[in-house]
Structure formats: C-alpha cells, structure tokens
Amino acid sequence: MKFSKEMVEAGAQLKSLGYEAVIPLNAERNANDYISSDEESAQRKITNNSIYGHYVEITNADAVLVLNYDKNDIKNYIGANTFLEMGYAHVLNKPVYVLNPLPEQAYIKDELKAFSPIIINGNLSNIK
C-alpha cells in the first residue's frame, strides 16, 4: 500500500481511457497521507477481510494491473500480496499487466515469468 497515491492516480487514468478500475480498499485513505503501522495494516486486513474481498474483485475483473515501483532498494519491486494476486489471476487465466519490467527478486523471479505478464513499460495506454 506504499504506492496508494499512484494506485488512485492510475485508477483515474484508466477511467479516462474508458476502463472500469477497482483499486484496493484502503488505497484512497492511504493516498490522503494516512500511513498506518504494520500492526494496524495487518489488523485491518483481518478485520475487513480485505484480502478475500480483493480476490473477489480479481475474480470479477477482466484483467489485473500491477504497479511495480522501486522499493527497499529493489527496482520494480513486487511484494507478497501482489505476488499472490498475480498468481491467482494467472490461475483464473486473466491477463496480468505489469507497469514496469519484472524485478530481479530471486525468490520469485521464475514464478513471475511463468505468469506470462504483459509488460506495458510505464504506459497505461498499452493495455488492450
């Protein structure tokens, strides 16, 4: 959720391109300068059942867009939840679009490639 502001902006841009965009439940709140602690974030995920809710959104979606920016000194970072969401979309045979090239994260590198994501090189208008 570190990139909540970017999620809200991407959602608005996708809407301007004619797409219906669904962003994570807390992205708008976080984008408005609310940054919770790790403990608060974990509790919110449990209380709101937000992980399950997001998977329902993926099930109903036509595609998934991953916003992978630099984080923790890792270029184009993909975190644990995003990795799970990509795998779930892959199992459902949904296209997975990735904003930037895949990261060099050794522990998930092969699996990321196996998902056959569509790299859009920073340009949302490359989504088909």
Task: Note the pTM of the prediction, 2 decimals.
Answer: 0.86
For 68-94, write each residue's pLDDT tens digit.
999 999 999 999 989 999 999 999 999
Q: What distance, in Å, lies between the first and last C-alpha atoms of the chain?
A: 25
Identify which of 85, 95, 74 has the alpha carbon closest to the alpha carbon of residue 51: 85
The answer to whether 87 and 23 have CB atoms below 8 angstroms apart is no
Calpha distance 93→116 (Å, rounded): 10
pLDDT at position 32 is 67
Confidence class for position 51, pLDDT limits 50, 70, 90 = confident
pLDDT at position 109 is 96
**How many CB atoms sit inside 10 A of residue 59's CB?**
11
